[in-house]
């Protein structure tokens, strides 16, 4: 591990930029087999008191770590900017191999700086690379300030305790940037498995016969649940109506699917460990039923056909954990999922 | 009557397309390949959720053992060779899907065992699973197994696909390759046969197609008018290790050139395919192979050099020469190094020499393609006092520093117009943080998907042997000790003899 560090108090973005270039030049002069990573710029805005926790999360992201991380730690009452810059390379020690250098800038700033975060960050981002902004502790004003600079907003729509407000906010952001939503990514294995279940040609007609969908979710992951219903609605051409909250947080509603209706249900499940979905059950008009539920080593699948036959199996796959989902979020910043936007719009209709 | 959906609307936007339920049947399930590559690759696919939603594995090998003992073997192989530490819950679930049949490959009981277990698994699921038979065995069993599968009707399955995966070597010369193809095709259709060349599963090799056909900058230059020569190198710093028995019967020409290097050559020089479907890509590759004129017997010595490594120093240690390696006859004439000059006689490439070089115990491990462009026609700069202008080179580095490098000339800062070459580098590791999957993961998944794009077709294999065969024939006519090169060196000095005047091998 090679680490180079520069620090300064009451500094300016121009000084930080100059320091980064100098650190890189010094590495080149030493002639080590090092090359700076050029994947993306990651601008992360955090509460100063949680800075270490966020750094740990980014460290755990491992292989998806962005090439230049600009970590803006916000302190109440601070009026000046202090900064440090560091280059680190985690090589194998093999002189024949090139080690990739990651760059990190730590900036301590005040709340007032967030309104012009773009001006502070602009000199520090690598042009021509995708710029991602992530503000895991709220700080929506930082994301607003970065509208002209950020290509991608990384967020977790489940962070907002009000799911309707969260979805509405996401819909607004999508006009300006590509949104990568961790709440959506938690549902990826579920979407893949549902798609696989209905993929054999003999099963595809059943997609038009779905009569009821029940999504089970951790109580704080309503957004993941409603995004799953939104995905099914948008992909299958359903027009969902509002979900109505009933006993124990259960939400029910209906979607119009051509001449028929589909019953939609979100069920909170209290004993789930990790956030996200706990299970999903799809029923068809002819009495078939498919359910997927979290289990050890993957998803437990159970199919009940109209002739009364039952079969169950485990769909293999390791839990990605929250670090894996964050890593996937960063990776998704360089891809484009055309199904998220329509799913969010349907989710919005259900929560209106 | 129910309407059959044309498309599955749920697959849009998903990175992983659904794969039909599959039973993977590995012949040679306790062998080195299964242990080091196949079982770990299957585990990693399971870990990532990339296996079909319903998946089973049946292992077949000679030794008798209960399922649980094979599962213990598979666990150990995965724990030792997986590219990531296994997740205990996923590993346990995967091992539960494994069954084992202990019988020799010519024993009818082996096929009865497979048929019974596969049927049982299908019945249990109520779904006819696709079946992929993976022959991770010695090549001498390929035909035996294919015939036996055919005789017991295991080559077809109502409502499902059956595929056969064959590992190299696909024959040891043209005649045996044809014979093998005939044998396999007497049972299976070509669309069912997947011949693995693991080089094609490497991300960097696939990226060659993207580099060439996804970037407008290269195509205008990619021809005889601008390209001076091409060097394709597969150098290893290691010796033969414990593979003496195989290697001494094979040699560098069969082991590396006939498959891996000719595959790289075809990808480098093929015409743009109409689409990236398996047959369109392979049609273009075969055209290239047909355009390569094999050396005439009298030309072999002028166009091909073979040699053996002698004792030397590798990785700071003294190492024995090839003839001193355990299991190698002291009078062996098997080459551990080969270099050859070929040409692709078509409109695009006529007259461009293409050099191939492969060897063991060389100075460094590197697999690369170096495309050297023609020099500029006129130089207006003074070159004295500097390295001067050198032809541009595009280096496609397959391993270990995966990436692309383009050499340019640039002015040296100062009052005088002095120039020297500089490199523009694209390194995979700096532009993609994600870890590349092992080649076998991609290829096993492709066999389950039924995508044959990255697999060699029968005519492709035969065309490649057609190039190599005359060389083997000429070598068989001569005898005597081979030229030697010191272990850890750049290779034999004799290799220079096949180069055009003024040319040099790229240093390793």
A265-296 per-position pLDDT tens digit: 999 999 888 899 999 999 999 999 999 999 98
Q: To 5 degrees, how large is the angle CA B171–CA B176–CA B177?
A: 55
- A-contacting residues of B 409-428, CB under 8 Å? 425, 427
Q: Does residue A30 register a pLDDT over 80? A: no
A321-332 and A51-61 are packed helices; what angle lies between their axes, rounded to 10 degrees? Answer: 80
Residue B346 pLDDT more than 90? yes
Cis, bond preceding A156 (omega within 30 deg of 0): no
Q: Is the pLDDT of residue B476 over 50?
A: yes
Strand ordering across the sheet containing B193-196: B98-102, B55-61, B22-27, B130-135, B162-167, B193-196, B455-456
For B174-203, write each residue's pLDDT tens digit: 999 999 999 999 999 999 999 999 989 888
pLDDT at B438: 86
Check whether A76 has a pLDDT greater than 80: yes
pLDDT at B432: 78
* pLDDT score for B434: 66
CB B195 within 8 Å of CB B461: yes
* The predicted structure's pLDDT at residue A118: 95
pLDDT tens sequence across A160-181: 999 999 999 999 999 889 999 9
- Average pLDDT over all residues of chain A: 91
Percent of chain B topping pLDDT 90: 80
Q: Of the ranges B30-34, B124-128, B358-362, which one carries the lowest mean pLDDT score? A: B124-128
Whether B370 shows a pLDDT value over 50: the answer reads: yes
Mutate to test the interface with A, among B50, B53, B124, B160 (most CBs of A within 10 A): B53
Reference A188, options A296, A315, A61; nearest CA is A315
Catalytic residue among B20, B47, B81, B260: B260
Q: In this predicted model, which residue has the larger pLDDT, B303 or A66?
A: B303
Does B46 contact A at CB distance below 8 Å? yes
Give the three-state DSSP class for B304.
strand
Q: How confident is the model at residue A209 (pLDDT cuts 50, 70, 90)?
A: very high
Q: Do B8 and A204 touch (CB under 8 A)?
A: yes
Inspect the interface and report whether the beta carbons of B427 and A301 lie closer than 8 Å.
no
What mean pLDDT do residues B142-149 have? 96
Residue B337: Cβ within 10 Å count: 29
**Per-residue model confidence (pLDDT) at position B419:** 82
pLDDT for B1: 41
Q: What is the pLDDT of residues A305-341, one digit of tens each?
A: 888 888 899 999 998 888 889 999 998 998 999 999 9
Provide the pLDDT for residue B2: 45
- Asked if B48 lies within 8 A of A198 by C-beta distance, the reply is no
The whole-angstrom distance between A326's CA and the closest CA on chain B is 13
Transcribe A73-111 into DSSP letters. EEETT--S-EEEEEEEE---S-TTSPEEEEEEEEEEEEG
Which of A197, A350, A203 shows the shortest CA–CA distance to A264? A350
Section B13-26 average pLDDT: 93
How is residue B129 written in tokens?
């699973």
| Interface contact flag, A317 B47, Cβ < 8 Å | yes
Q: Of chain A residues 126-185, which have a CB less than 8 A from chain B?
A: none
DSSP secondary-structure letter at B26?
Answer: E
The beta-strand segments (E) located in B125-214 are 130-135, 162-167, 193-196
pLDDT at B386: 65
Phi (first) and psi of residue A102, to 5 degrees: -110, 145
Q: What is the pLDDT of residue B204?
A: 86
Give contacts of B55 with chain A, Cβ < 8 Å.
316
What is the residue whose two structure tokens read 């082991």? B255
pLDDT band at B315 (very low <50, low <70, confident <90, very high): confident
Tokens of A106: 């730590």
Asked if the C-beta of A92 comes within 8 angstroms of chain B's C-beta atoms, the answer is no
CB A36 within 8 A of CB A103: yes
Q: H helices then E strands: how many in chain A?
A: 10, 18
pLDDT of residue B414: 82
Q: What pLDDT is attached to residue A88?
A: 86
User: Does the pLDDT at position B16 exceed 80?
Assistant: yes
Residues 6+ positions from A209 with CB-CB distance below 8 Å: A284, A285, A286
**In chain B, which residues have their Cβ closer than 8 Å to the Cβ of A339?**
12-13
Q: pLDDT above 70 covers what percent of chain B?
A: 97
Q: Apex CA A265: angle with CA A260 and CA A267, to 5°?
A: 165
Please tell me if residue B89 touches chain A, with a CB cutoff of 8 Å: yes
Digit-coded pLDDT (tens) for B430-464: 777 666 788 999 999 999 999 999 999 999 999 99
Q: What pLDDT does residue B9 have? A: 95
DSSP-assigned beta bridge partners for residue B342: B354
Q: Report the largest interatomic distance among the alpha carbons of chain A, rounded to a whole angstrom.
A: 74
Question: Going by DSSP bridges, is the β-strand pair A244-245/A239-240 parallel, antiparallel, or unpaired?
Answer: unpaired
User: Strand A82-89 to strand A2-8: parallel, antiparallel, or no bridges (unpaired)?
Assistant: antiparallel
Calculate mean pLDDT across residues B463-472: 97
Q: What pLDDT is stored for residue B433 in this prediction?
A: 67
Is the confidence at residue B4, as pLDDT, over 70?
no
Structure confidence at residue A92 (pLDDT): 66
Q: Which helix (H) or strand (E) holds B91?
A: helix B88-96
pLDDT beyond 80 at A122: yes
CB contacts of B124 in chain A (<8 Å) are: 311
Tell whether B429 lies on the interface with A, counting CB pairs under 8 A: yes
Q: Given an 8 Å threshold on Cβ–Cβ distance, is B93 in contact with A235?
A: no
- Largest distance between two CA atoms of chain B: 84
- What is the predicted pLDDT for the residue at A85? 94
Q: Mean pLDDT across chain B, nearest whole number?
A: 93
Vertex A233, ends A231 and A236: CA angle to 5°? 100
Interval A44-74: pLDDT, tens:
999 999 999 999 888 877 666 778 999 999 9
pTM (whole model) above 0.80: yes
- From chain A, pick out residues whose CB is under 8 angstroms from the CB of B401: 96-98
d(CA B470, CA A173): 66
DSSP state of B332: -
In angstroms, rounded to a whole number, what is the distance separating the alpha carbons of residues B178 and A75?
74
Among all chains, which residue has been given the structure tokens 């997927």?
A292
Based on DSSP, count helices (H) and strands (E) in chain B, helices before strands.
15, 18
B81 is catalytic: no
CA pair distance B100, B102, nearest whole angstrom: 6
Which of A103-117, A177-191, B207-221, B381-395 comes out lowest in average pLDDT?
B381-395
Q: What are the chain A neighbours of B364 within 8 Å (beta carbons)?
A: 96
Of A316, A340, A346, which to mutate for an interface test with B (greatest number of B Cβ within 10 Å)? A316
6-25 of A, contacting B, C-beta below 8 A:
none
Closest alpha carbon within chain B to A64: B433
Are B433 and A65 inside 8 Å of each other by CB?
A: yes
User: What confidence score (pLDDT) does residue B435 get?
Assistant: 67
> Tell me, what's the pLDDT at B384?
67
Q: pLDDT category, B45, cuts 50, 70, 90? A: very high
Q: If you count residue pairs, one on A and one on B, with CB atoms under 8 Å apart, how many are there? A: 144
Cα separations (Å) of B35 from B52, B105, B246?
21, 19, 18
Q: pLDDT over 90 for what percent of chain A? A: 72
- The reported pLDDT for the residue numbered B7 is 84
Nearest to A301 among B3, B53, B429 (CB): B53
**Residues on chain B touching A318 (C-beta within 8 angstroms):** 47-49, 87, 89-90
Residues of chain B contacting residue A196, judged by C-beta atoms under 8 Å apart: 18-19, 52-53
Q: Mark B267-282 as b/e (b = at least 16 C-beta within 10 Å).
A: bbbbeebeeeebbebb
Residue B507 has pLDDT above 70, yes or no: yes
């Amino acid at each position: 591990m090679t680490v180079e560090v520069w620090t300064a108090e009451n500094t300016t973005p121009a000084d930080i930029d100059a320091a980064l270039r100098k650190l890189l030049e010094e590495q080149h002069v030493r002639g080590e087999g090092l090359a700076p990573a050029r994947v993306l710029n990651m601008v992360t805005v955090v509460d100063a008191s949680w800075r270490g926790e966020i750094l740990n999360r980014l460290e755990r992201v491992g292989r998806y770590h962005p090439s230049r991380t600009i970590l803006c730690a916000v302190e109440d009452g601070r009026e000046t900017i202090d900064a440090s810059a560091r280059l680190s390379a985690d090589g194998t020690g093999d002189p024949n191999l090139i080690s990739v250098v990651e760059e990190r800038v730590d900036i301590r700033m005040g709340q007032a700086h967030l309104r012009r975060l773009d001006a502070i960050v602009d000199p520090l981002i690598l042009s021509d690379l995708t710029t991602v902004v992530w503000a895991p502790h709220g700080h929506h004003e930082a994301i607003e300030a970065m509208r002209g600079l950020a290509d991608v907003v990384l967020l977790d729509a489940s962070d907002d305790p009000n799911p309707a407000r969260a979805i509405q906010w996401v819909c607004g952001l999508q006009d300006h940037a590509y949104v990568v939503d961790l709440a959506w990514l938690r549902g990826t294995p579920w979407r893949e498995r549902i798609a696989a279940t209905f993929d054999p040609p003999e099963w595809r007609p059943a997609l038009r016969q779905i009569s009821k969908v029940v999504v089970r979710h951790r109580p704080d992951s309503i957004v993941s649940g409603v995004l799953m219903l939104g995905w099914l609605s948008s992909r299958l051409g359903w027009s969902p109506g509002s979900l109505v909250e009933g006993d124990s947080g259960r939400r029910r509603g209906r979607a119009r699917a051509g001449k028929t209706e589909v019953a939609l249900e979100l069920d909170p499940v209290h004993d789930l460990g990790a956030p996200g979905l706990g299970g999903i059950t799809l029923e068809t008009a002819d009495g078939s039923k498919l359910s997927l539920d979290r289990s050890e080593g993957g998803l437990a699948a159970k199919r009940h056909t109209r002739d009364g036959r039952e079969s169950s199996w485990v769909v293999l796959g390791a839990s990605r954990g929250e670090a894996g989902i964050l890593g996937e979020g960063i990776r998704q910043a360089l891809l484009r999922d055309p199904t998220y936007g329509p799913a969010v719009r349907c989710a919005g209709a259900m929560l209106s | 009557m129910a309407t059959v959906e044309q498309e599955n609307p749920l697959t849009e936007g998903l990175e992983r397309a659904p794969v039909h339920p599959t039973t993977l049947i590995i012949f040679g399930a306790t062998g080195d390949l299964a242990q080091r590559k196949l079982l770990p690759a299957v585990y990693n696919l399971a870990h990532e959720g990339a296996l079909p939603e319903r998946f089973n594995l049946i292992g077949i090998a000679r030794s008798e053992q209960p399922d649980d003992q094979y599962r213990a073997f598979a666990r150990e192989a995965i724990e030792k060779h997986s590219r990531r530490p296994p997740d205990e819950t996923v590993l346990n679930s995967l091992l539960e899907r494994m069954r084992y049949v202990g019988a020799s490959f010519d024993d009818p009981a082996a096929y009865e065992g497979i048929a019974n277990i596969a049927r049982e698994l299908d019945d249990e699921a109520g779904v006819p699973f696709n079946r992929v038979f993976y022959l991770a065995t010695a090549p001498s069993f390929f035909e035996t197994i294919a015939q036996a599968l055919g005789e017991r009707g295991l080559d077809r399955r109502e409502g499902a696909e059956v595929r056969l995966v064959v590992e190299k070597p696909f024959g040891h010369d043209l005649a045996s390759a044809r014979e093998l193809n005939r044998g396999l095709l007497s049972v299976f259709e070509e669309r069912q046969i997947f011949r693995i060349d693991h080089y094609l599963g490497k991300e960097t090799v696939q990226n060659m197609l993207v580099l060439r056909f996804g970037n407008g900058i290269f195509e205008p230059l990619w021809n005889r008018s601008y390209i001076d020569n091409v060097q394709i190198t597969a150098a290893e710093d290691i010796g033969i290790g414990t593979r003496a028995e195989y290697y001494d019967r094979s040699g560098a020409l069969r082991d590396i050139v006939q498959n891996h290097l000719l595959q790289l050559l075809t990808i480098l020089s093929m015409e743009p395919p109409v689409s990236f479907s398996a047959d369109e890509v392979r049609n273009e590759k075969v055209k290239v192979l047909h355009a390569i004129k094999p050396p005439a017997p009298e030309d072999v010595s002028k166009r091909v050099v073979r040699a053996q490594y002698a004792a030397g120093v590798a990785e700071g240690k003294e190492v024995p020469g090839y003839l001193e390696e355990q299991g190698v006859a002291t009078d062996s004439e098997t080459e551990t190094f080969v270099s050859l000059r070929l040409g692709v006689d078509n409109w695009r490439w006529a007259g461009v020499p293409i050099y191939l070089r492969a060897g063991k115990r060389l100075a460094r491990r590197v697999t690369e393609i170096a495309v050297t462009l023609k020099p500029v026609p006129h130089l207006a700069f003074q070159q004295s006092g500097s390295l001067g202008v050198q032809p541009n080179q595009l280096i496609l580095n397959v391993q270990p520093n995966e990436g692309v490098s383009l050499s340019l000339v640039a002015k040296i800062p100062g009052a005088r117009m002095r120039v020297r070459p500089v490199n523009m580098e694209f390194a995979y590791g700096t532009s993609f943080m994600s870890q590349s999957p092992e080649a076998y993961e991609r290829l096993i998944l492709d066999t389950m998907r039924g995508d044959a794009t990255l697999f060699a077709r029968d005519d492709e294999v035969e065309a490649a042997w057609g190039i190599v065969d005359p060389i083997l024939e000429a070598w068989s006519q001569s005898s005597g000790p081979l030229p030697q090169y010191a272990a850890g060196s750049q290779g034999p000095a004799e290799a220079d003899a096949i180069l055009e005047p003024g040319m040099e091998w790229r240093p390793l």
